[in-house]
Structure 1
């Protein structure tokens, strides 16, 4: 009868062991939940094979886009702001042009 009382009064067994179990068990549990998240991301990131072929075939590079815009003239370009939700969009845009 003396041993269970001595164990119940031991602060290491009363507070330390449950704390260590919580920390160690929590790390394993967190690893499992994180793995579920990464597995779900892998499933959603897969592309349709037909779409993947179109993406591979359509190569757009920064240099090709630069060549398209290189000879453009932006001297007469005017910035037109978009309408606010409470404004009529068509008359405002016509007025700004």
Structure 2
């Protein structure tokens, strides 16, 4: 007889708006905002609960769940997060300054 363990995992939701149209996306691992085809760094302001957190000048940002923390985020210098935690890790991609490190929100 086989036994299975079912675990609940956190999922991210992102809303992309273009004028009056918008679309929701869901991810088990992560969402990435990157610079696309441009050869320049992009500048982004990060807010949490309407409070300014940091200004990033980098190739992009990774927003990862605990499940995704062992994937792209880890490869970019982010921490490993226990799967049962309700947390989001924001990891910069090739930041312009060494003072911009991954941020952990729980």
TM-score, length of structure 2 as denominator length: 0.16
The structure with the largest alpha-carbon Rg is 1
RCO (CA 8 Å, sep 6+): is it higher in 1 or 2?
A: 2
* Higher strand content, 1 or 2: 2
